[in-house]
Structure 1
Amino acid sequence: METQEEETLKKDTEMAAPAMEGVAVTALRSVMYRVQQAAQKSGRSSDQIRVVGVSKTKPISLIREVYDAGHRCFGENYVQEIIEKAPQLPEDIEWHFIGHLQSNKVKSLLAAVPNLAMVEGVDDEKVANYLDRFNGSFGRKPLKVLVQVNTSGEEYISKL
């Protein structure tokens, strides 16, 4: 049997989740409106602009709510998270992997996320080659890749 305090906490938690999720949809609408305004101001069409909703650390329920509000493009920067989330969500989501991708995780990423549309920030030729090789071996359409280029001449310091 729950104590009065546990019951109150449970009710507060149940009420907070929908409120939080409502905030995400409101924020999405605000961002999309500002994107539309900026596009018009610059003489561009808003359909030329892609807004990627970064769903890192967010629960499936929140992503689903934003999806239900009409958004279809989401980004993750942890391979394990995208591998866990993608199969639980609709297949028409356009997934982006953002950030550093390790070569030893390329195959598992491509195998688990058939609707991966883009990898952003490839900074290593080995990773680019793996993406090309494994993407082809899975019979997928060409994968879009954004290449990260060091234009400042700064030395890369490995975390290893």
Structure 2
Amino acid sequence: MAAQAVESAAVTALRSVLHRVRHAAERSGRHADDVRVVAVSKTKPISLIRQVYDAGHRCFGENYVQEFIEKAPQLPKDIDWHFIGHLQSNKAKSLLAAVPNLSMVQGVDNEKIANHLDRAVSSIGRKPLAVMVQVNTSGEASKSGIEPSSCVDLVKHVKLSCPNLVFSGLMTIGMPDYTSTPENFKTLSRCRSEICKELGMVEKQCELSMGMSGDFELAIEMGSTNVRIGSTIFGPREYAKKQ
């Protein structure tokens, strides 16, 4: 019964998040449909993910390859899976092979991983994979992501040299205490403007993935089209085992 209560709480939390997303989108002059909500389920059991799925949500994200590979085959095939964060190049093919319904990688931060993903998609024979380029907007050495000054070059590489990848936008992870949040978001927006100018793209062709549990409403108000929400939906994470 206790587990069921927790799972029901996750569904209630999801509804609350979607309500808040809708109002934030309206404040930014957009509709809720303009913002993708990725329910980040890392460290959470399949039963809990299934509760949120059964409530109608279809977009989920994972951060750890081994956990992802174990979970995804046990869940419905119409889930829209996102891998979020830094992906080691030697794990690209195993992830794609194990999760055929992986629809996006939010975390391409160098040419090497872009090339590995491109080759993996080709060798498996699956449809082209959507990717977002991760930008280190906070300047923290502990964070993955390309420097803002180099984002145009990496996006060019993905678009021109990786035919099996589809460049979909930019992603950033701000500081844990959110003190740099507004500046992080402004930096990512500036990167988008530079990329669109350089490559002749309209801004709608370049999504912005910014905003998590603590700042997703502000992110949406500042133009985010993709928010990654974990603990607000699923509760505090368990980090008992190393991935």
Q: Where on the TM-score scale, by shorter chain, does this alignment land: which range?
A: 0.7 to 0.9
1:152 is displaced (CA, Å) by: 6.8
Evaluate the alpha carbon distance shift between residue 80 and residue 157 of structure 1 in structure 2; reply closer, same or farther with a 3 A threshold.
closer
What amino acid sits opposite 1:29 in the alignment? R
| 1:132 matched residue in structure 2 | 118
| 1:112 matched residue in structure 2 | 98
Listed one character per residue, the Cα deviations across residues 65-104 of structure 1 (whole Å, up to 9, x for unaligned) are 0000000000000001110111100011010001111011
Q: In 2, Cα distance between the equivalents of 1:63 and 1:41?
A: 30
Q: Which shifted more, 98-107 or 145-154?
A: 145-154
Evaluate the alpha carbon distance shift between residue 108 and residue 27 of structure 1 in structure 2; reply closer, same or farther with a 3 A threshold.
same
| 1:96 matched residue in structure 2 | 82
| 1:72 matched residue in structure 2 | 58
Residue ranges of structure 1 left out of the alignment (5+ in a row): 1-14
| 1:29 matched residue in structure 2 | 15
Regions of 4+ moved over 4 Å: 150-158
- Check conservation: 2:84, 2:107, Cα contact below 8 A: yes
- Check conservation: 2:136, 2:143, Cα contact below 8 A: no
Q: In 2, Cα distance between the equivalents of 1:138 and 1:113?
A: 11
| 1:45 matched residue in structure 2 | 31
| 2:71 matched residue in structure 1 | 85
Listed one character per residue, the Cα deviations across residues 114-142 of structure 1 (whole Å, up to 9, x for unaligned) are 00011112112111101011112222221
Write the mapping of 1:140-159 to structure 2, written as runs, cut at 5 A.
Answer: 140-150=126-136
Q: In 2, Cα distance between the equivalents of 1:94 and 1:75?
A: 8
**TM-score w.r.t. structure 2 length?**
0.56
- Report the secondary structure of 1:91's partner residue: coil
- Report the secondary structure of 2:36's partner residue: coil
- Report the secondary structure of 1:144's partner residue: strand
Aligned residues: 144
